[in-house]
């Protein structure tokens, strides 16, 4: 297996040599970690006393929509408590500068959108916490919503001793009230169903339009010049497959990750790069020949 390069100079030289660059950024949780976004799971993968993955199913919503919404409302709140980092803004600026750039993101936290990433250049593979949609597929209603809490019933409890403090409801010792379904977000179109989070749950397909957009990009005869693998091991499909598909279309691979042992699917090939460290620092520096200095709002 080849040894990846680690120098910024060779990366900049390659990037500057591309006349009409076609670039993919495949993003994972490591990108959001640079914003300080904590994991939503506690020890052993649990949220309170529930295995977190067990709350991410249609069956869980049918069984206890209130509990599922409390879980996702907590995640929305935590995501809104942090800000997009310079890497988010760098990718957004790259999208504005390069028509041939696409960001394939596995993150549902809304940080790309809050960095004003052009929507036509952003493919959210797993949906987003900040889109809600009608439980009924026949209705089809969906909307973007960054309100926190989305309805009063989902407001975080107040500490009885300190009204300015908010208890951490991921702690099972903090009591949670049962929320009736009529107090949850309701569909304004059909007026018969609750709204649900617009994320992909276990057992569901990835968004069909997103998959079409990804495949149309990959199948373009112009090929792919570069794929940036940012904050993800890219070993889970379909994301892992995108690295291989990009390679088959001519792409070099650049991995940006805290783990220097994170090898992309298929291993290293001649001409690849590995940049170990914080994506918030590395990504803006790598993209500087195209986007210049990144401006992060105060």
Pick from 170-184, 196-210, 212-226, 234-248: least confident: 234-248
**Is 187 part of any known ligand binding site?**
yes
Percentage of the residues of the chain whose pLDDT score is greater than 70: 95
Pick from 93-102, 108-117, 187-196, 240-249: least confident: 240-249
The reported pLDDT for the residue numbered 238 is 76
pLDDT band at 162 (very low <50, low <70, confident <90, very high): low
**Is 27 part of any known ligand binding site?**
no
Identify the residue with better confidence: 1 or 221: 221
User: Structural domains in the chain?
Assistant: 1-37+82-126+206-297 (3.40.50.1220), 39-80+127-199 (3.30.1600.10)
Please check the confidence at residue 150 and state whether its pLDDT lies above 70: yes
3-state SS, residue 255: strand
**Is 134 part of any known ligand binding site?**
yes
The reported pLDDT for the residue numbered 164 is 61
CA nearest to 108, candidates 90, 130, 133, 89: 130
pLDDT band at 131 (very low <50, low <70, confident <90, very high): very high
Q: How much is the average pLDDT of 34-57?
A: 82
223-253 pLDDT, tens digit each: 999 999 999 987 777 778 999 999 999 999 9
DSSP code for 152:
G
Distance (Å, whole) CA 75 – CA 81: 10
The reported pLDDT for the residue numbered 264 is 86
Catalytic residues: 126
Please check the confidence at residue 166 and state whether its pLDDT lies above 90: no
């Amino acid at each position: 297996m080849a040894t990846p390069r680690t120098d910024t100079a060779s990366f900049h030289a390659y990037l500057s040599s591309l006349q009409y660059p076609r670039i993919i950024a495949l993003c994972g949780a490591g990108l959001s970690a640079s914003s300080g976004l904590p994991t939503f799971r506690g020890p052993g993968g649990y949220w309170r006393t529930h295995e977190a993955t067990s709350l991410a199913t249609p069956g869980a919503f049918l069984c206890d929509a209130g509990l599922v919404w409390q879980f996702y409302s907590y995640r929305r709140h935590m995501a809104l408590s942090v800000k997009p980092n310079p890497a988010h803004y760098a990718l957004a600026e790259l999208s504005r500068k390069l028509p041939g750039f696409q960001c394939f993101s596995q993150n549902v936290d809304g940080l790309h959108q809050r960095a004003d990433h052009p929507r036509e250049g952003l493919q959210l593979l797993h949906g987003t916490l900040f889109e809600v949609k009608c439980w009924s597929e026949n209705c089809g209603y969906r909307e973007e919503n960054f309100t926190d809490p989305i309805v009063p019933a989902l407001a975080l409890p107040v500490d009885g001793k300190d009204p300015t403090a908010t208890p951490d409801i991921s702690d099972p010792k903090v009591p949670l009230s049962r929320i009736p379904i009529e107090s949850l977000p309701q569909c304004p179109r059909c007026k018969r169903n609750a709204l649900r989070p617009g994320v992909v749950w276990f057992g569901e397909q990835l968004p069909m339009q997103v998959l079409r957009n990804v495949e149309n990009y990959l199948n373009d005869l112009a090929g792919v010049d570069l794929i940036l693998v940012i904050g993800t091991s890219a070993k889970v499909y379909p994301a892992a497959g995108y690295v291989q598909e990009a390679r088959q279309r001519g792409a070099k691979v650049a991995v940006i990750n805290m783990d220097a042992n994170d090898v992309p699917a298929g291993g290293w090939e001649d001409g690849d790069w590995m940049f170990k460290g914080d994506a918030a620092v590395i990504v803006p520096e790598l993209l500087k020949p195209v986007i210049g200095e990144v401006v992060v709002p105060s």
